[in-house]
Each structure stands twice: as C-alpha cells, then as structure tokens.
Amino acid sequence: MKRVENVLREHRYQRSHIIQILQDIQVEFNYLPKEALEYVSQRLKIPLSKIYSIATFYAGFSLNPRGKHLCTVCMGTACYVRGAAAILNEFERKLNIKPGATTKEMNYSLETVNCLGCCAIGPIVVYDGKYIGEFKLKDIGRILKGRA
Amino acid sequence: MIKITINKKEILAKRGETVLEVAQRQGIYIPTLCYHKDLVPYGGCRLCIVEVKGWSVPVASCTLPVQDGMVVKTDTPRLKKLRRFSLQLILSEHPHACLICDKEEECVQYQECIAKSAVTFGCKFCARNGDCELQELVEKLGIKEIPFEFSYRNLEIEKFDPFFERDYNLCVLCGRCVRMCQEVRGAGILDFQHRGPETLVGTAYNLSHLEAGCQFCGACVDVCPTGALRDRYSKWLGSPQRSVKTTCALCNIGCSININVRANTVVSSTPDNNQICVRGRFGIAPLVHHPKRIISPMLRKGERLVEVEWEEAFDFVCSKVVEHKGKTGILFSPQLTIEAINSVYGLADHLKCEKLATTSALETNLKPLDLKGFRGNLVFVIVNTDMISDFSPLLLKLRSPQKIKPVFIVIDAVDSKLTQIVDLWLRPELGKEVDVLKLLFAQKKMKNTTAVSTRDIKLGKDLLKKKNIYLLYNPYNIENITVPKYVKKIPLTAKINTLKIIDMGVDSPTMDLLQDKNIDCLYLLGTAPKLNWKYKTIIVQDCFPPQFRFDLFLPTATFAEVNGSVVNIEGKIKRIRKAIEPLGKSKSDDWIIAQISKRLNHNTKNRKPKKRKTIISAIAKTKKVSEKYPIHLIVRENGYSYRGHRLATLMKGFERLRGDNCVWLNNRTAKKSKIKDGAEIKIIGRTLNLVMPARVTEDVPENSVLVYYHPSMGAVNSQPVRITKKDKQR
C-alpha cells in the first residue's frame, strides 16, 4: 500500500489523474491488484465501480498478474497480412498458452494488440516494451532463449 | 428570454434550457430513451435528434442548449428514418420477438401463465409488459421489423441480491441506472464495465450489490426503461390499477410516496418525484401483506387463543380496563397516526392512567428541522449516526448542489457506508466521541486521548474554520454533547411523530413503566417490549403477534390502510391516505380506541387531552471495561422497525441488508472467542442477558459488539459485557 500511496502522492491526489495513476500502479506491480484499486478508491473517493470501469475499458490495463516478460503481438490489418497470425500461432505453441494468459511459472504473458501505429515496420512484436519490427518466426526462439 | 421556433411554432425559452426541455414543456413529442428529467443529459440513444436550420446534420436535442432565433424541426421524414434505424439497432440486442410480432393481439388470451417463465425472451414473458418504454417507443416510431440479426447476451439472471433482480439480457445500456446511482444517489455502485460489444452495467469485480455496498434504494429500478431491473416482490403481481399518494411512516423523514394498488393488494411503493430509501421502496408491500399478520381479534379462552368478533373483544377490554382502573399502563408506538395518538391520550385521561409511555427515543429540546435554513458555507458534523442507513433522503437533500459544496465530517467509532463518502472520518476510541468534539472546538491546546491522530484533528479544525457548523446526531446514540454556542445542534430521532409526542408529553420512558409493580393491566399499542414479570391482563393492539403470552389481540391496519396524518422531523404535517381497505377484520387504531371510549361513555372528540410532563430517564454513564466484562456493547437506535417489529425479522431482504436482529461482531474479536458468523451468542452484562445470532464484520472496532436497540431487549444501553457461545441444547 505504501507503493500505491507514493504513486498517489506523485499525482498530488488529483482525481483527474486516475488513468495515469492506474498506469503507474501497473508499472509498479505489473498488473492492477484488487487491493490497490480499493485503496485508490478510498483515498481519492472515486467509486470502485468507476475505477474498475476504467480498468476494463482500456486494453492496456491488466487485472490479472502478468509474467516477468510480456510479449505483445500486433494483430492490426497491416501486420496481419504480413503474417502476424502465424507469429501468434507460434507463440501460442511455444509457450503453450492462449493470448491474454500467463505461463504457469509466471515467466511469460502473451497478449495481442489491434494496432501500434507503426504499420510500416510490421509485423511487430513488443517484447518487454521493446518494439521489434519485421518480426520473423525464427526470432521467437531467439528472444525466448535469450531471456528465459 | 429567447425566441426559438419548433415546428413552425414560436416559443419563448429561458437561456440554458435544452431544446428537448422546451419542446416537452410545449407538449411537442420527441422520442427519448436515455433522457431522464432528474439526470444530467447524456446523449447516448440518439432518439431525440432534431434538425436545426443551417446545420448539416441532425443533433441530439437533449444536449442542445437553445439559442436565439433557432429554427428546429422535430418531425421530418429524415429524422423518422434515422430514429427508426437507431431504435432497430438498440433492439437488436434486446429480446424483441414480441415487439414486432404481427400476432400480438391474438396472443393476449394465452399470456397469463407464460408470464411466469424463468427466462424473458419476449415481452409476453416480461414482468414489465405494458409498462415498458421500449414498447411505447416501438409503437410511436412504428417499427414493424428489425433487419439485424438478434444477438442474445445469454447472461445469468442475477437473483442473489435482496429486493430486486437483474436480467442484463434485457438491458439496452441507456445508462440511466448508472447515472442515477452516481449523480443523484452519490453511491456509485454501478458503472459500465468492459468495452464495445461486451459493455455491461455492473459492479466492480462483479460483486453482488450487497458486497459492493448498495443501499438498495431502488432508484435504479425506478428509472430503468426496460424489464432488466425489477422489484422482486411486485414482479408477478401484475401492473397496478391505481396509485395513492401518501406518506411513508417508517422513519422520521416521512417521504412522500405512491402506493401502487391492484384490486385490494399493495403491489409496490414508489417515490413521488423524490428520493426515498429501501424501507419506503421495498418494505411497505411485503409488510402490509405479511403472512404473519393477524387480521381478526383473538381472545385467550383458557389456554387457547380463539378468534372472536369485535363486540366480544371490546367487552373484554372495557371490563378489564374498568377492573384495573388506575392500574393500567399504556405503552404506544410513535408510528401511529396523529389522530390515533390523540385518541390514546384521550383514553388515558379518561382512565386516569398515570402511566403513558412510548418506545421512541426522545430528547426534550427537539425542534423542527428547517431545511431551508441551511445556507452559505456549510459544515455538517455527524456524530454516531449512520445517515445513509437511517436518513438517506435527508442526507441527499443536505448534499444537493448548493453554491458552495458542503463539508461533511463524521465522528464515529463504527464504520459504515457513510464514512466512505464524507470528507473526513474521525474514528475515536469508543466512548471518546465527545472528547473529539471538544478537541475540534477547543481554542487552546488540549491533551488528545481519543486515538484520533492530531493531524486529523487539525484537518478537521481547518475544515471548520469560518463556516456555519451544524452538529447532526441521534440523541439515542450519544449523550452529554456539549458544543460552543455557534454550533447548531440538530438531533435526529429515527421514529416519526417524535415532535408530536414531545409536544404532548409522556409520563415515563418505556422501561420505567415496565419497572412499575403497581401496574396490573398492560395495554400495548404497537410495541412488544421485554416484560419483567407476569401481568394480570395484557391487551395487544398490533399487526403482528408479540413473543410473550397475551390475553387479547386487537388487529390494527398498517399505515397503508388508514387515513390520517403524521408529523415528520421538519414539523410538517403529512397526510396518510388509505390505499387499500384494511385486511380482514383489522381496523384503524383510532377507530378501535374510539369504540372503546364510546363503550366507556367517554367522548374523545371534543375534549383536548391534557398535557403531560415529559421525563427522560438519564442514560447511565458508560462504564469502563473490566476483566469480567471485557467487551463494549454499542447500542444504536433502530430506524428499521415498524410498531416495534424489526423489519429484519419480518423480511429476509432486510435481514441480509441490515441484520438488526443480529449482534455485529468484530472479526478479530470473533476469532479470539471462536465465534462463527451466524452462530447464536450470549451477551451478558451487569443488567442484561441477551441471546442473538452473530454477524461478523470489520466495521465494528475491536473488542466491541454492536446491536440495534429493540424494546424486546429490555433496558439496554451501551455498557461493558462479555460474550460467550450459546450452549448447545442437549
């Protein structure tokens, strides 16, 4: 809770900063824990239903714990026609999870995104915040091996 | 004033009004769905679109402020087409089979029983059939077909909460309930969850409403245009034939309500363009038609209770009252009508009854509350009173938009829904509430022994600076309040008619009457207190039977079945109108007493009852806990009762929501004494011995238990006690 309190203090307990606050909490915990949201609701006097509404509205927020590493595959139209489906398939096979899930040992989370706005370098995979353009199937093994 | 033209008609409008408001005032029909007069316009459904001269596209009239010289058209073919298209899209997610069925009229003869089906997949299966805004819109817009594929959400019907059920398969996402809950009620239990086609109205983390902290005021149910939210009790009772404007007598606010009636049955009670609480919304219909109600006079003959005619009952009353003249004690509930209270006083005078008492918590300096007097920079300090549970319509009025937002400070050791929404919550140690007040208003530095941090006290002091301060408290829950003169004290008593009773005076508080050994005959009007010994005669005039042995039961009508008036916390006299004829042989209180008086040759009408002097017994000072009695018992007045019967024992919903027939126990204290939720426990104090089911909660501070006062507990006040598990019966 101390970490949440720090985030709130940074934003000077401004209710209008709720989205940034949630983003910072997500950076802090890698996801949005229920207790943290309840605490924010209590401190800022924003109904919990409202915070939950925001957290479920934006695809960027996760309410479930995520793994150490996050692989996000862009499934936007441009990436899709350049083979994003095959990349996602390969990720699913290698990690043995569906998009939106986390591997059992909490190492990897797999997510999809609808467009990242850099279609020119597609297909794109974002690995731990790093954008890897012109992604190839063989890159999967490389990144998973390199860090796993 | 501004001039605008709607459909070639020149209309004067005020600046700031919307086109929709102006049109509605002039009786020009514009279809609406998400618009509601009590809510901030939302512009979601796009059914209220209008064309404005000079604008290329139609705009939603609910969010369009009037401008000088505006020329508006509300009914062009283009608008009709667009509206139809919008509604068709909305209906593609709502079970619409019956809405567009061409055999609709022939179907009427078969619909009686199918309305009881569990899943609603057409209007004929819906409880709101005939009272549905979608049906109205379909008819008005002339929709004959829906060209889109029907998508059924296939969600489970949420039946696990008390009072109302939710079937979000029928929801059209107009957002009225969400806005009602957030804007008007300030509760914020509901919001839209998820996004896009998956959007749903719901609570955070899909908690049940009970877990999410819902007050069950029913405001969302009342604004729902569809059958998605519906009152469980009235669901299948059919649509009401008439509604009667009356007053809710369940608490001291006395809200105006409409009682909806079909045949001689109360179907439901709904607010009359105001905000009410769970008691008035969901409590009245099940109370009136409660299966435990006795609706014919019962006389004890030997060991058996026998149903008798009124004549025989009156003969019994007269003979007993004459026999015990001067030794009769009358105890009445404040929840009678004023007329009934007057006749009770008349009868007491005639019987030379020196013992007349009521079960209400009283305070001698009670004054009518002046709602209009609240002006300027306001601070409300609320002590030991859960305003949301007991006085939510009043709290809403206090919170309603004023020029400067009022500040709320709560001083209470017990957590409640109220503490979550106020500006500052000071949680002192039990019994130190008065000390916190002293600290707040102290000029000099004082020693702080209240367990409230000095920082919070300073925060409170800052909030109080240069403002009109009002102190709200329930005199039953706190004693010896002393505040500086510039702070206005506003006692909030929970029971209606307390102002009237203070005006008339009572001889003794309840418990003193029951301590009086000279009384042989007890006449109880709507109360069932704990009796200390056997009486020669006990006459009960009530709706529900008491727990103890009685000699005669006179069935009375509830406030939905009588004409009369009540006086509320503001000192206003409010009418109570007869919604239905009294059930069975039951009669109104004033009729019964008038009949008794007539037989005793006493005319109640012309004589004014004599004023009595009110004596209020001093509440014993809270003693410190000791080794023998290590736990604090907190007693709060129970605003959830009618004529001394707890709503919680009568209705399951109230038991789940409020549990005032239980003892509330801190979870750590419960763990220590190995008490589980729902287990029967004994509370033993110096002068009391209670057995009640336990409810475990985090709201109550450690080493304390909370009960809601009820006359059947006897003389109970806050005191140290010890608790043990009830021995298992062998």
CB contact under 8 Å between B205 and A51, yes or no, is no
Judgement on whether residues B262 and B207 belong to the same structural domain of the protein: yes
pLDDT exceeds 60 at position B616:
no
Q: Does residue A64 lie in a domain region?
A: no
CB contact under 8 Å between B191 and A50, yes or no, is yes
**pTM (2 decimals)?**
0.88
Partner A contacted by B410 (CB < 8 A): no
For chain A, how many structural domains are there in total? 2
CB contact under 8 Å between B205 and A47, yes or no, is no
The per-residue DSSP string of B396-437 comes to: HHHHS--SSPPEEEEE-SS--HHHHHSSEEE-PPTT-HHHHH
Judgement on whether residues B278 and B342 belong to the same structural domain of the protein: no
- Residues B588-616: what's their mean pLDDT? 76
Q: Which residue of A has its CA nearest to B179?
A: A50
**Range with the lowest mean pLDDT among B51-60, B556-565, B573-582, B714-723?**
B714-723
Instruction: Tell me the residues of chain B between 209 and 268 that have a Cβ less than 8 Å away from chain A.
Output: 212
φ/ψ of B58, rounded to 5, equals -65, 150
| Of residues B108 and A14, more confidently modeled | A14
Query: What is the reported pLDDT for B450?
Result: 81
- Residues A101-110: what's their mean pLDDT? 87
Q: What is the CATH number of the domain that holds B684?
A: 2.40.40.20
Partner A contacted by B195 (CB < 8 A): yes
Q: What is the CATH number of the domain that holds B92?
A: 3.10.20.740
Judgement on whether residues B268 and B208 belong to the same structural domain of the protein: yes
**CB–CB of B299/B315 below 8 Å?**
no
| Of residues A134 and B725, more confidently modeled | A134
Domain that holds residue B463: 371-491
**CB–CB of B299/B306 below 8 Å?**
yes
Last residue of a domain, one of B233, B253, B288: B288
| Of residues B111 and B253, more confidently modeled | B253
Alpha-carbon gap: B456 to the closest alpha carbon of chain A (Å) = 14
Percent of chain B with pLDDT over 90: 42
pLDDT exceeds 70 at position B406:
yes
CB contact under 8 Å between A51 and B204, yes or no, is yes
Query: What is the reported pLDDT for B117?
Result: 62
**CB–CB of B327/B605 below 8 Å?**
no
- What confidence tier does B58 reach under pLDDT thresholds 50, 70, 90? very high
Q: Which residues contact B131 (CB under 8 A, 6 or more apart)?
A: B239
- If you search the block for the tokens 């006299």, which residue do you land on? B573
Judgement on whether residues B250 and B345 belong to the same structural domain of the protein: no
CB contact under 8 Å between A49 and B194, yes or no, is no
Judgement on whether residues B693 and B711 belong to the same structural domain of the protein: yes
CA-to-CA distance for B726 and B714, rounded, in angstroms?
A: 20
Q: Does residue A63 lie in a domain region?
A: no
Q: In whole numbers, what is the pLDDT of chain B averaged over residues?
A: 87
Judgement on whether residues B651 and B581 belong to the same structural domain of the protein: no
Q: What is the CATH number of the domain that holds A93?
A: 3.40.30.10
**CB–CB of B450/B456 below 8 Å?**
no
Query: What is the reported pLDDT for A55?
Result: 94
Last residue of a domain, one of A57, A87, A104: A57
CA-to-CA distance for B709 and B704, rounded, in angstroms?
A: 15
Residues of A in contact with B190 (CB under 8 A): 49
Q: What confidence tens digit (pLDDT) does each residue in B632-649 have?
A: 888 888 889 898 889 999
Domain that holds residue A98: 69-147
Judgement on whether residues A76 and A131 belong to the same structural domain of the protein: yes
For chain B, how many structural domains are there in total? 5
Query: What is the reported pLDDT for A148?
Result: 41
Judgement on whether residues A53 and A73 belong to the same structural domain of the protein: no
**CB–CB of B406/B387 below 8 Å?**
no
Q: Would you call B230 helix, strand, or coil by DSSP?
A: strand
- If you search the block for the tokens 């029907």, which residue do you land on? B150
Residues of B in contact with A51 (CB under 8 A): 204
Q: What confidence tens digit (pLDDT) does each residue in B263-289 have?
A: 899 999 999 989 999 999 999 999 999
Q: Which residue of B has its CA nearest to A35?
A: B205
Last residue of a domain, one of B269, B288, B307: B288
Q: Which of A52, A57, A59 sits opposite B204 (nearest CB)?
A: A52
Alpha-carbon gap: B190 to the closest alpha carbon of chain A (Å) = 6
CA-to-CA distance for B642 and B646, rounded, in angstroms?
A: 6
Judgement on whether residues B463 and B387 belong to the same structural domain of the protein: yes
